[in-house]
A and B are shown apart, each in its own frame.
Chain A
Amino acid sequence: MPAGSRSSPVSCGDCSVAERVRALLSRLVAAAIVLFARLVTAVRGSWLGSAPDDTRRVYFANHTSHGDFVLLWTVLPPRLRARTRPVAAADYWQSSALRRFIGRDVFRSLLIERSGGGGDPVAEMAAALDTDSLILFPEGTRNVSETELMPFRSGLYHLACARPDIDLVPVWIDNLNRVLPKGESVPIPLVCTVTFGAPLEPVPDEAKGDFLARAEASLRALSTAGSP
């Protein structure tokens, strides 16, 4: 788990100058990204069923835009932001030096091989939850269809089985798909909201299909609760 070894990018006692510069740069870039997200979207976090406290969690959200986890990350209090890692596709975030820097140093992403090329994604996520919260998009890929939500992949279910001690919190990200529709290059400023629901109640011996349907429904319910 190479990304895990960098779990604290700052405040190391005896790291080299290059690493210190890299850590400082990643903090500056993170601050710039948060500022940009706020300028464009004036984003507001709405905590309906959970509180922004130190509990380690899996935040699972709808996925319509590349900016989704930036927005979720922006509304987290800075203390939680430093301990929350997005789960992202390795092929995308390792394809250039800039993406590697942003994905690994700025967001501390947990990179997952999509094409099934070795590794056990669920085990990696379960291990990362020892120290950090995770942001997960259970639809698996960006939703560019007209439907509100696509069927969930099974990863969330397997993660829930592996870590029954961790809360699964649904998070609805509203309006970001209108800010930058697919194929456009200039974002338009629109007010966005990020709504955090109540954690999924654990149900013993629940079948995979039932669990995923329940998780989908909990997220769908927030799409009407949080929007104006």
Chain B
Amino acid sequence: MNAARSDLFALLAGVGVVLVIATLIGQMLAARQPSGDPSPVIDNLNARINAWWGMVCLLGLAFLGGRGGVVVLFAVCSFAALREFVTLTRTTRADHRALVAAFFVVLPLQYLFVWQSWYGLYSIFIPVYAFLFLPILAVFGGSTDRYLVRVAETQWALMIAVFCVSHVPALLTLEVPGHAGREVLLIAWLVVVVQISDVLQYVWGKLAGRTKLAPTVSPSKTVEGAVGGIASATAIGAALFWITPFRWWEAAGLALVVTLMGLAGGLVLSAIKRDRGVKDWGHLIAGHGGFIDRLDSVLFAAPVFFHLVRYGWATP
């Protein structure tokens, strides 16, 4: 436990150093701008860096709070993400009861099952039981107009905002031999690798980006940014193998998988935003947009990472 604590503090200290350097660079760039002519890109960069400070502090506090802290933090993230997702759906008053159930029954139950380590239930609760019961509630809403669209959007909202997000705290329920007491470091590793990949894709894209990766979906993503970001984040994931139960090459392989999933998650959720005609999912995280804008890559990476670790390293 003490070794786990000191590894966690070492990691947080490392992230802190990176943020201090980023803050210094951001402030230097802002100071170099002629006064009265602020650059929107630099202002946004600094807003993002400031928000990172807040997010890292919250995550660090949750880690110190153990399983309870982590479960509560991600339940709150799910709530905010579900609120953003449902806002963009075409649900009507006929879906009201189903949505009340989604927010106030399904979401809390999913996190309760995660907190209880009830793998057999939390891994199927939303794909099976919510999938079957919410359409039943919607049937009694009294309207069949666009019924399939509304029911499908509600299910997608729960899968993305609750099911996928809950697989981050679910990592705490895995029992990896020789890794007892260090479960929280699995979450730290996943979040650091996936998020640093996003940051490095942005940096590589700004420095060397030429070829657009998916111009119709996400005009700011470039092939050079994606390759550079994923390669360097994979290297960082391998270098951090000492906080995980993996050997360094296993850590590299897993880092490659989660960063690729993260890139895909960003593209898929961008496609949904484009479909619904918005630029950001929300406005609560200054410089980043909404919760889903920040979590999009983690959403897609977490369930895959969870199952790879479960089948490859954990005791069933």
- A44-B83 contact given A188-B99, A188-B100, CB 8 Å threshold: no
**Complex formed: what's the CA distance from A181 to B142 in Å?**
14
Q: Knowing A42-B284, A44-B283, A228-B276 are in contact, say whether A191-B93 is a contact too (CB < 8 A).
A: no
Task: Please list the residues of chain B having a beta carbon within 8 angstroms of any beta carbon in chain A.
Answer: 79-80, 82-84, 86-88, 91-93, 96, 99-100, 103-104, 276-279, 282-284
CB-CB nearest in chain A for B279: A228
Q: Do A186 and B104 touch (CB < 8 A)?
A: yes
A189 near B103 (CB under 8 angstroms)? yes
Q: Which residue of B lies closest to A188 (CB)?
A: B99
Main secondary structure of the interface of A (DSSP, over half): loop
- Main SS of the interface on chain B? helix
Contact between A188 and B282, CB atoms less than 8 A apart:
no
Please give the distance in Å from A35's CB to the nearest CB on chain B: 15
Verify if A7 is at the interface (C-beta below 8 Å from B): no
* Contact call A188/B284, Cβ cutoff below 8 A: no
**Besides the known contacts A178-B91, A228-B278, 16 further A-B residue pairs in the complex with CB atoms under 8 A apart:** A42-B80, A175-B87, A178-B93, A181-B96, A186-B104, A188-B99, A188-B100, A189-B79, A189-B82, A189-B86, A189-B103, A190-B83, A190-B86, A191-B83, A191-B84, A228-B277
Can you identify 29 A-B contacts, CB atoms within 8 angstroms? A42-B83, A42-B284, A44-B283, A175-B87, A178-B91, A181-B93, A182-B93, A184-B93, A184-B96, A184-B100, A186-B100, A186-B104, A188-B86, A188-B99, A188-B103, A189-B79, A189-B82, A189-B83, A189-B86, A190-B83, A190-B86, A190-B87, A191-B84, A191-B87, A191-B283, A228-B88, A228-B277, A228-B278, A228-B279
B283 touches A188 (CB 8 A): no
When chains A and B are docked, how far (Å) is the Cα of A44 from the Cα of B283? 8
Q: Which residue of B lies closest to A182 (CB)?
A: B93
Find the residue from A42, A44, A181, A191 having the highest chain B CB count within 10 A: A191
Output the least CB separation between B79 and chain A (Å): 7
CB nearest to A174 among chain B residues: B87
C-alpha gap A189/B86 in the complex (Å): 9
User: How far is A182 from B96 in the complex, measured between Cα atoms in Å?
Assistant: 11
B-contact bits for A171-194, CB 8 A (1 contact / 0 none):
000010010011010101111000
A90 to chain B, nearest CB (A): 30
Chain B residue numbers with a CB within 8 Å of A190 are: 83, 86-87
* Interface residues in A109-154 (C-beta closer than 8 Å to B): none
Complex Cα–Cα for A159 and B226 (A): 59
Collect the chain A residues with CB atoms within 8 Å of residue B93's CB: 178, 181-182, 184
For B93, the closest partner residue in chain A by CB is A181
Bound together, the chains give a CA A46 to CA B307 distance in angstroms of: 43
**Judging by beta carbons under 8 Å apart, are A42 and B282 in contact?**
yes
A45 to B99, CA, bound (A): 25
Give chain B residues whose Cβ lies under 8 Å from the Cβ of A178: 91-93
The docked-state distance in angstroms from the alpha carbon of A200 to that of B204 is 48
Closest to B104 in A: A186
Give the nearest-CB partner of B79 in chain A: A189
Q: Which 6 A-B pairs have the closest CB atoms?
A: A181-B93, A228-B278, A189-B83, A191-B87, A188-B99, A190-B87
Report Cα–Cα, A175/B80, bound state, in Å: 16
Contacts of A42 in B (CB 8 A): 80, 83, 282-284
CB distance from A227 to the nearest CB of B (A): 9
Give chain B nearest CB distance to A74 CB in angstroms: 15
Task: State in angstroms the CA–CA spacing of A47 and B289 once bound together.
Answer: 18
Interface string of A71-88 (1 = CB under 8 A from B): 000000000000000000
Instruction: List the B side residues contacting A44 at CB < 8 Å.
Output: 283
In Å, the complex CA distance between A195 and B284 comes to 17
A188–B279 alpha-carbon span in the complex (Å): 23
Q: Name the distance in Å between A174's Cβ and chain B's nearest Cβ.
A: 10
- Residues in B with CB closer than 8 Å to A181 are 93, 96
Pick from B80, B88, B96, B278: contact of A188, CB under 8 Å: B96
Chain A residues within 8 Å of B88, by CB: 228
List the A residue with the shortest CB-CB distance to B100: A186
Q: How far is the CB of B269 from chain A (nearest CB, A)?
A: 15
Q: B142: shortest Cβ distance to chain A, in Å?
A: 11
The complex places the Cα of A148 from the Cα of B91 at a distance, in Å, of 17
What's the Cα separation between A188 and B283 when bound, in Å? 19
